[in-house]
Amino acid sequence: MAGAAHSSEDQVELLRGVIDATRLLVVVADQTGVVQLINRAAARTTGLTEAAWHRPIWELAAFPAERELLRGAFTPFRREAFPPAVMFHLTRAEQAPRGVDWDVRVVNDRPEPRIVFTGVEVSERLIEHQRLRQAEVFQRQILDRLPAIVWTTDEKMRTTFSAGGGLSALGLASGEVSIIGTPVTSYFHTEDPHHPAIAAHLRALAGESTVMEMAWFGRRFHSRIEPLRDDRGQIVGVIGVSFDVTELKQTAQALHESESLLTRVVDANVIGVFFWEENGRITQANDAFLQIVGFSREELLSPGISWQALTAPEHRPLDQRALAELRATGRCTAYEKAYITKGGVRVPVLVGGATFDRPTAGEMAGAAFVVDMREQARLRDAREKLLRNERAARVDAELANARLQLLVEGSQALSPRLNPNEILQSLAELTIPALADWCYTVHRGWDDGNMLVASAHGDPNKRALLARLGPHRPEAGDDEGPGRVFRTGEVALYEDVNLDRLSARAWDPGEALVLRELGARAVLCVPIAGRSGVDAVMILVSSQDPLRYNREEVLLAQDLAARAAVSLENGRLLFEALDAVRARDDFLAVAAHELRTPLTSLLLHIQMLRQGLARDEADLSAFNRSVGAVDGQARRLSNLVDGLLDVARVGNNRMGLRFEEVDLREMVDDVVSTMAADFRGAGCRVLVTAPQRATVRWDRDRIEQVLTNLFSNAIKFGAGRPIELCAAVRGPMVEISVRDHGIGVSKEDQARIFGRFERAVSTRHFGGLGLGLYITAQILRAHRGSIRVESEPGQGARFIVTLPRGLEEAATFTDSPMAH
């Protein structure tokens, strides 16, 4: 290179050589835009010859918009306004335009400024740009995967960059061009500098960082807003990073609420809660749980106590099942079991639970929720008890109703019957099956002494067997069974019967076999009462149930027996009434006959007297005989009427007694003396044995009447044979017996000869009204004495009177049953 000696052409040439040597494209234009110079690289790129490039530079631009842009820069040319850089594409002959990025420099060349365009083909810069762009894309992808928004602004808080996955929550796309240049204030719809976000930006522009949390578009963001600095540390804007923490916040809130709820549940102590480990340890427990199990917290949390040990032993398999369920699902279905408290008390509980984490292996831990079921159990027990009671009450009511119905049916079946056989049979059938499998009734019989039996069996296969049990007469001496009931009048119940023993005592061996076949595990013997003791016994038998009869059934059986007794008594009364009617009719016939006989004789003698008087023949001796006969018949009539009057007085309770002190011997002698003619007439010798000076207090006339009646009876039935009277004082009592040697009285008649209008013999052979013994018995009864007879037919009879010696008070007759 030459120095000052070089000419300007040389310098131009040198400069030209330098320009051509560079790879940069160099184009120089004047202030009108006409190209003055183009270096070799530019000529090569454009393919233009020197002649071709002397024209306005914008004509080198390939596209109209570029040409227009360039021409605008030169028209008019203003140095200070000329752009420092520009890009346009160079036209190329028969080739695609090539983009060139131009630096522009205005050179103060004289006489006018030159504009130097130094360019680099865009293709090379593009490679660099794309590399950067690629890096940016990667960064953006990373940012877009973060739940965050990253943005930058310029100094005027206009958005210059945005990225991040958080933008989607705002309905924006990462790197969306439309928001570039948008002021951040517009995002918050305010320019208020006190708005937290705007204030943070302003502080950042002032060099201060802000960390804040804010709500935006319904979501929550955790943001950091800081100054954005260039390479030299100058603040050129704001850079912000916001993390979308909405879900995090919601999760945290839910967790907080859940924890809060759990805490409230635990602290409320409404239910027991404890935290457990699979190894048996209890790590926490609330007060409610402590109250349930009765341990203190220290005791419960100590290693010595395991939650398994609290469970009642028989319920531990339930715990094992719950553990298996917890391991499989993380929770377990609530189940009922019992805890054993510290004091050893069983507490029914309802338990449910869950693990803290679903376990895959190793030990589980979790929470258990325990509801104290004592109150529920008490209520349940009470309810069950109530139901049981209600059911039992219904059963009792139905039992009572059925028993009542049985009694009604009993009355319906028994009351219309008067025949004792029918009554007993109905009673036996009525009890089947309500009270027995089979029933046997036995009646002692009425006055004739003939036993009555009836039986019933529900099982048709056993009725014939039962019929083989013959009439069984209970003995008064029997210790057990019907005999005892007849004797005591009390119910006899035999449970869990030993049939061998019963058979041996109660039936003969043949019947014992029958009894065994019939079966008898429980036997109830119930008395059927009569007027003077037990008339019958109802025997109820359960073949299978050894404890068949309880108190209610005994009462029911007694009630049925009482109804049967009423029916039997009605039958008896009817029988007696019919018998009384018969006796009355007999008496009337006898009385008519007895009255007619003296009356006929009386009338005959009166007629004879009248005839004698009519003849005026005074046969005084005949007259006296007739008068004597009239007198005798009149007395006989008078005696008969007196007897009838006595009966009437007895019937009307109008026969009073006048008690006085009497010498027994004297009274007997007086009676014998008075009746001496009768004894002589009958050919009877009287032998009297009586104590001397024995004083008694009786109604003398009535007792004399008694002795007269007994002597008259002895004369009537024992004429021609001796009569013995024996009187003896035995302590406070006197016994007088009158014995004859006449026809005697049969056993059957002995019971009834003291009855009204009764007589043991035919009126054809023995006269009289048949009232003597009845009146005798009633007089003695009024003296609180009695009379009985000992006799065998053909062996005579001995009537024995027993009287108290010193009866002081007055008494009156009553027509009550006789004392014997």
Partner 1 sequence: MSSQPAELFTPPPSAAHAATSDGEVFLWLVRPEVVAEIASGVFSMPLAQKVIEFFDPIIASGRRVQVFSDFERLTHYIREARDLLTAHSVRNRRALEASHMLLSSKMVALGVSSFKHELGDPLVHTYSDRASFLTSYAKALARE
Which residue ranges make up the site for partner 1 (CB under 8 A)? 395, 398-399, 401-403, 405-406, 409, 413, 429-430, 432-435, 437, 458-462, 519, 542-545, 548, 553
User: What is the DSSP pairing of strand 723-730 with strand 686-689?
Assistant: parallel
Q: How far is the CB of 568 from partner 1 (least distance, A)?
A: 21
Which one-letter amino acid corresponds to residue 177?
V
Give 293-320 as a DSSP string: HT--HHHHHSTT--HHHHB-GGGHHHHH
CA distance 40 to 394: 127
Nearer to partner 1, 153 or 543 (CB): 543
CA distance 29 to 23: 19
Q: How far is the CB of 572 from partner 1 (least distance, A)?
A: 26
Q: How far is the CB of 460 from partner 1 (least distance, A)?
A: 5
Q: How far is the CB of 466 from partner 1 (least distance, A)?
A: 13
Nearer to partner 1, 545 or 701 (CB): 545
Q: Are 267 and 286 in contact (CB under 8 A)?
A: yes
Q: Which two tokens stand for residue 685?
A: 């010798």
76: preceding bond cis by omega (within 30 degrees): yes
CA distance 625 to 308: 132
Nearer to partner 1, 315 or 457 (CB): 457
First and final C-alpha spacing in the chain: 190
Nearer to partner 1, 160 or 567 (CB): 567
Nearer to partner 1, 50 or 390 (CB): 390
Q: Which spans in 337-419 are helix H?
A: 374-414
Nearer to partner 1, 456 or 534 (CB): 456
Nearer to partner 1, 144 or 437 (CB): 437
Nearer to partner 1, 351 or 540 (CB): 540
Residue spans of beta strands (DSSP E) within 198-281: 210-216, 219-229, 235-244, 272-277
Nearer to partner 1, 398 or 660 (CB): 398
Nearer to partner 1, 475 or 545 (CB): 545
Q: How far is the CB of 541 from partner 1 (least distance, A)?
A: 10
Q: How far is the CB of 461 from partner 1 (least distance, A)?
A: 5
Residue 251 dihedral angles phi and psi, to the nearest 5°: -60, -45
Q: How far is the CB of 521 from partner 1 (least distance, A)?
A: 10
Helix axes 551-615, 374-414, angle to 10 degrees: 20
| C-alpha pair distances (Å), 446 with each of 164, 562, 567, 653 | 125, 18, 14, 29
Q: Which two tokens stand for residue 543?
A: 């073949």
Q: How far is the CB of 317 from partner 1 (least distance, A)?
A: 29
Helix axes 620-652, 772-782, angle to 10 degrees: 50
Nearer to partner 1, 520 or 694 (CB): 520
Nearer to partner 1, 542 or 713 (CB): 542
CA distance 129 to 132: 5
Nearer to partner 1, 262 or 464 (CB): 464
Q: How far is the CB of 483 from partner 1 (least distance, A)?
A: 27
Q: How far is the CB of 504 from partner 1 (least distance, A)?
A: 23
Q: Measured at the alpha carbon of residue 255, what is the angle toward residues 250 and 261, in degrees to the nearest 5?
A: 125
CA distance 784 to 805: 10
Q: How far is the CB of 480 from partner 1 (least distance, A)?
A: 24
Nearer to partner 1, 548 or 741 (CB): 548
Nearer to partner 1, 355 or 431 (CB): 431
Q: How far is the CB of 436 from partner 1 (least distance, A)?
A: 9
Q: How far is the CB of 543 from partner 1 (least distance, A)?
A: 5
Question: Which residues touch 25 (CB under 8 Å, ≥6 apart)?
Answer: 39, 41, 42, 45, 90, 100, 102, 117, 118, 119, 120, 121
Q: How far is the CB of 516 from partner 1 (least distance, A)?
A: 13
Cβ neighbours of 655 (radius 10 Å): 22
Q: How far is the CB of 400 from partner 1 (least distance, A)?
A: 10
User: What is the DSSP pairing of strand 723-730 with strand 786-791?
Assistant: unpaired
> Rounded to a whole number, what is the largest CA-CA distance in the chain?
251
The 8 Å CB, 24+ separation contacts for 498-506 are 505/478, 505/479, 505/480, 505/481, 506/472, 506/478, 506/480, 506/481, 506/482
| C-alpha pair distances (Å), 348 with each of 228, 340, 354, 511 | 70, 9, 20, 61
420: preceding bond cis by omega (within 30 degrees): no
Q: Are 491 and 525 in contact (CB under 8 A)?
A: yes
CA distance 111 to 371: 107
Q: Are 457 and 437 in contact (CB under 8 A)?
A: yes
Q: Which two tokens stand for residue 809?
A: 């008070």
Q: Are 735 and 727 in contact (CB under 8 A)?
A: yes
Please classify residue 1 by burial: count the beta carbons closer than 10 Å to its beta carbon, then call 0-12 exposed, 13-18 middle and 19+ buried: exposed
Q: How far is the CB of 465 from partner 1 (least distance, A)?
A: 11
Q: How far is the CB of 379 from partner 1 (least distance, A)?
A: 21
Nearer to partner 1, 402 or 573 (CB): 402
Please classify residue 601 by burial: count the beta carbons closer than 10 Å to its beta carbon, then call 0-12 exposed, 13-18 middle and 19+ buried: middle
Report the length, in residues, of the chain: 820
Nearer to partner 1, 254 or 404 (CB): 404
Helix axes 664-674, 700-717, angle to 10 degrees: 50
Nearer to partner 1, 145 or 468 (CB): 468
Q: Are 27 and 56 in contact (CB under 8 A)?
A: no
433: preceding bond cis by omega (within 30 degrees): yes
Q: How far is the CB of 409 from partner 1 (least distance, A)?
A: 5
